[in-house]
Structure formats: C-alpha cells, structure tokens
Amino acid sequence: MTANTKPYRAHLTSYGDLITSDAGFRGRSASFALERKRRAAPFVHQARALRFALENAATPNDLAHDEWIQSALLVASGVPYNESIQLRPKEKAVAIQRFINDFLAPAGPNLVEELVNRFLLAHEDELNASTQTIGDILAQRKLSRALIATLSLDDTRYSWLHATSKTWLPISDDDSDIELHLRGLSWEKGRKRRTVVFNLTVPFLGNNVDLCLFSCGPNEYREKSHDPASYVALGELKGGIDPAGADEHWKTARAALRRIRDEFSRSSLTPHTFFIGAAVAKRMAQEIWDELENGPLENAANLSVEDQLMSVARWLCRL
C-alpha cells in the first residue's frame, strides 16, 4: 500500500494532527457538562416531586409510614436502587428507620431540606461514578452521527438498532437524536451489505470491542459474530477527556487491538483496525503515528476534530 492510498493520509499529515488542542479539551468538557445536565434532569424533577410530597410531614416518623416515598428514602439513605429492589420489606423498613434516626430526626425544622439534599447527593455520586462511561457514550454518539451523515449524503438508506428494544428500525424523515438510543447501523450499497454494531462481545475473543463492522445484513450479525471471516473492521473508541489518563487509554486500546489482530491471524485474516480518541497527548500521538506508518494500525482520528472523524466515517462506509 503506497502512502497516498493509506486511509489516514486523507486527514493526517503528521502525528501533530492527532494531538488534542486546548480548544478540543474545552469542547469535550462542555459536552460532558451538557450530558451530565441532561442525565441529572430527571433527578431534579424527582427532588421537586419529593419536596411537594413532604409538605404534610409533621414529624420524621411520619415519613416511615408514607408508602409513596419509600424508594426515595432508601436512595437518600445510600442504598442503590438495584440493591433496594432485592431487599425484603422488613430489611427496607430497618434501613429507612436507621436513616430517619441518624440523619432526619437530628435535622429538626430542616427535615425536608436534609432529605431532599441527601436524595440529590446520592444521585450526584451515581453521576460521578459514570464519568468514564459518559465519555465513551459520547464518543459512540458522535461517531454514529458522522456515519449517519455520511450515509445520508451518499443517499444510502439505512436501518438502526435500538439499544433498549434490540429491534432494527427503518430510517425515518426525522432522525434527530436517534444516536441517544442507537447501538448499530446497517446499510446496503450495490452488492455490499454492511452492519455496524457498537459494544459487542466477540465470541471467539471473549472481549468487548467498541465497534465491529460486518459484511452481512442487520438480522445476521449475531450469527455472523461467531465467524471471523464476517468481520470487515474493528475499532477502539476512547472518549475520556482527562489529559492525565490519555496514555493509559491508548495502552488499553493498543493491547485490545493487538489481541484482535493475533486472534484473527489464527484464521489467516487481517480485518481493518482503527483507533479514535478524545484525549491524545504528544507521546501517545507519536506512538499512534508510528503504528499507522509502519503498521499494523490502518486508521486513526482525534474525536474532537470534525474533519478527522468524518474522514474515518467515510472510510468505514466505503469498506
């Protein structure tokens, strides 16, 4: 493959193009803040409803007998929702009473404020724990939107996989915000059928891969995921924005891509591999560039640079 046919050369001229700029970090930080705000909105509304429900609570012990706020009391006490649904009624009652005795009763006239604040704090901890997940989800959404834009511009109709219902849905006139619920895309161009699936555990690898591109239709990818010959491309997405953790993200992705190549080589196969990252430091960019120039990595992009992302999306759509 000559230099001018290497796909990354369409958007990269040197390792410096991969380094995340200060503006890139600021843009990603703003995206994180907006996503956290979007995720926090339901909890804020629940807190308002909780405050209204507490209007007639005369004493802390009145709360223990109000069946409408028992789940909120458990959350505020620090019991995660997934754990609370497994507790027996007696265990729930004990946890709630302990919470009332230790925190709400001592609050006196500030009872309502104490409960509402602890309810919001519990959800704040939940949001903080998902910071890395938010980054990767945002990366997936951004690449999804780039793929959709590329297909639409090429007048290629597609179907998309709903992450919750796990059903394939046809393209509609209004495709706004579908990336919030999208886990896959499928399209047909000429004689080629292609299906992209995000966050797939590849059976013969035993590991999760951020993006897999298959040479099959939408309803075949589960069966085809067991066949190494059905994979066209596999890629790693790292959406975290912490500069201090950039090198670690790349090391994790590079190790994952190496495992992918080693496993496919057992079947004498070499699917396309690529990397997209949000936080790319200088040394990391140099290592990525070296793998691009000398192999085995075939494509790469900085998530915060729109032209680079669109170039990789176009490449994927044309494989």
Query: 242 and 296 share a domain?
Result: yes
For residue 221, give its domain range.
7-35+131-318
Instruction: Please identify, among 97, 129, 161, the residue that sits at the C-terminal boundary of a domain.
Output: 129
Last residue of a domain, one of 85, 102, 129: 129
What pLDDT digit, counting tens, does each position of 116-129 carry? 888 888 877 666 65
Mean pLDDT on 56-75: 79
Give me the number of domains the chain comprises.
Answer: 2
Statement to judge: residues 136 and 233 lie in one domain: yes
- Which CATH number goes with the domain that contains 83? 1.10.238.90
pTM beyond 0.85: no
Pair (204, 167) in one structural domain? yes
Residues 195 and 283 in one domain: yes
* CA nearest to 198, candidates 180, 187, 182, 210: 210
Residues 120 and 153 in one domain: no
Helices (H), the chain: 22-53, 60-64, 70-76, 81-84, 89-99, 111-129, 131-153, 221-224, 246-265, 282-294, 306-318
**Residue where one domain finishes, among candidates 100, 129, 158:** 129
| pLDDT tens column, 175-188 | 788 888 899 999 99
138 and 125 within one domain: no
Stretch among 29-43, 236-250, 265-279 having the lowest mean pLDDT: 29-43
- Region 278-303 average pLDDT: 93
C-alpha–C-alpha distance, residues 82 and 71, integer Å? 11
Please tell me which residue, 309 or 75, carries the higher pLDDT value.
309
- Tell me, yes or no, whether 223 lies in a domain: yes
pLDDT, residue 114, reads: 87
